[in-house]
Structures are given as structure tokens and as C-alpha cells.
Structure 1
């Protein structure tokens, strides 16, 4: 029983590090999000020139599906909009996926003392992952001031556009799930 009490906090710490969401949000606490019903996509939406137009289209379509699922409607004119939606897609820092490594460990343990060492031997070449950051902003239509922002960095697949479309759909869904703020 004492062993369980010792390892429970460690297990909780490890599991909290495995959280599924890396969405970053910020918002104006004075904004009244309950009044948001009709939206317009801001003309300033878009992406870095290095981002594929197909990726940008996937983000826009996914965002529109999320808005519709949230029962928000597209306003017929900007004057009838309660909020503006702006999305932006930017290249994020590339990450290096280190190849699998074979570990060889040596050590000794005696009494209350232990020592060990390990050597990693690469089994293949490194892969560079292409990442994008998806940013979704909500703005006040009267003054174009930011009221809410959500963003997430995701890894794209260089070989399969269908995988990218699914990745983007999940990312936009995850970002939108953080709105409205609690």
C-alpha cells in the first residue's frame, strides 16, 4: 500500500505531461461572448506565402464547419455581424525526428547505491518535420480589436494531403473547443 502511495503522485505527474491539448488561448475578459451569433470572415485572413494554398483552404473549410456546428451563422453584411473571424496559417519551426536508436546500458546496483551508463547507436537517418501554426482570432466588428485568440502548432505530412486535411480538421476542432473561455 505504501508503494502505491509513493508512485501515485509520480504517475499523475507523468500523465499530466501527456495532455492531449497544446492549444494556446488568450482573450479579453471584458468581452461578452454570449452575444456572438453572426460572423463575417475577416479580409485579413490568410497565410505566409510559404504555406500551401491547399492547407489554407483546409483551415478555412474546417473553421467554417466548426462555426456552423456551434450554431453561428454567416452574416449577410458586415454591419449585421456580431464578430469577425480571422484565421492565419504560418510556418512554424521545423523539428527533427531523430532516427530510432539502439540503447546499450551497463550498470551496477548494490546496497543503496546504483550507477549506470547508456550509449545510443543510430539505426537510420533523421527526418525533418514541417510544422505550421494555425491561429484563429475573433474580433469586435466595431473597432477590429481582438477579443479571443486560439492557436496550435501541428506537424504536416509531406507525402499525403489526406493526412494533412485530417490533421488540420482535428487541430481546428481542438482550437475551437476552447471557445468560449470558461
Structure 2
């Protein structure tokens, strides 16, 4: 019975280690988000110089779609906005996707004590994954102070722009799903 619980616990730990990065949010608890109806784009939106302008445009388009879905309207004039929307795309840390490996192991088990060893033999080349971090900020229209922030790190596919567009749209939707914050 203990072995079964140990196996299940181990499986849960392995699966949780493989999960994607979660959305990180922060907000000013004194902000009345219910008053937010009309927005304007912040002039400080943009990206690191290393990030493709196409990636930035996909993020802006996806964010505009999310705002529209939630019925926030783009203000005709900047002074009519209740809040400003700023987005920023930063180059994230690159990760190395290790090629599949063949494990050869030795082990012994006796009297509830186990000793084991394993050697990994690479079966292919390592792949470097390109990551970007998407930041979405909501600012008070008058003071320009930050009222809400959501961010997520997304892995991009260097070979498929359509896949990247889908990943970026999904990431923006995931970030936006955290707004407004639950108090």
C-alpha cells in the first residue's frame, strides 16, 4: 500500500514539474475596477528590441480582442478613458529542451532501503527554446499609476508563425482571465 502511495506522489510531482508557467498577477486593492469602462492605449507599450515586431502586434491584437469580448470600449479621445492599457513583451530566459535519453539503470532493494543509479545516453540534439514574457498593465487614466498587472512566460516556436500566433493569443487570454481580481 505504501509503495502505491509513493508511486502516486512521485507521479504527481513529475507531472507538476512538467506544467507550464502560471499567470502572475498583482493589483492595487483600493482600485475600483467596476468603474473601468473606456480605455486608451498607453504610449509606453512595446517590447525589447530583440522581440519581433510581429510578436508585439499579435499581443496587441489579442489584447484588443479580450478587451472587446469583455465590452471595454476604446475611448474616442484620451481624456474620456477610465484607464490606460499598457502591454510589454520582453525576451524571456531561453530554456534547453534536452533530447530524449535512454536510461540504463542498476539498482537493488532490500529491507525497505533502495539504492539505484542510472546513466542517460542522448538520442539526439538539444533544442534551445525561445521564450517571451508578456506583461499587461492597467493604469489609472489620470495619475498613470499601476492598478493591475498580469504576466506570463510563453515558449515560441521558431519554425511555425501560425503556432506562435495561437500561443500568444492563448497566453493573452489566460492573463486576461485573471482580471478583474477576486477580492
Instruction: State the TM-score, normalized to the length of structure 2.
Output: 0.91
Aligned to 2:36: 36
- 84-93 vs 106-115, which deviates more? 106-115
Unaligned segments of structure 2, at least 5 residues: none
C-alpha deviation, 1:18, in angstroms: 6.2
Equivalent residues of 2:21, 2:153 under 8 A apart: no
Instruction: State the TM-score, normalized to the length of structure 1.
Output: 0.91
1:80–1:11 Cα change, 3 Å: farther
C-alpha RMSD of the superposition? 2.2
Unaligned segments of structure 1, at least 5 residues: none
Distance 2:145 2:23 in 1: 21
Matches within 5 A, 1:89-128: 89-128=89-128
SS at match of 1:158: coil
C-alpha deviation, 1:5, in angstroms: 9.8
Aligned to 1:55: 55
The total of aligned residue pairs comes to 181
Aligned to 2:180: 180
Distance 2:12 2:121 in 1: 30
Aligned to 2:131: 131
Aligned to 1:10: 9
Aligned to 2:167: 167
C-alpha deviation, 1:108, in angstroms: 1.2
Distance 1:177 1:129 in 2: 26
Distance 2:132 2:101 in 1: 27
SS at match of 1:93: coil
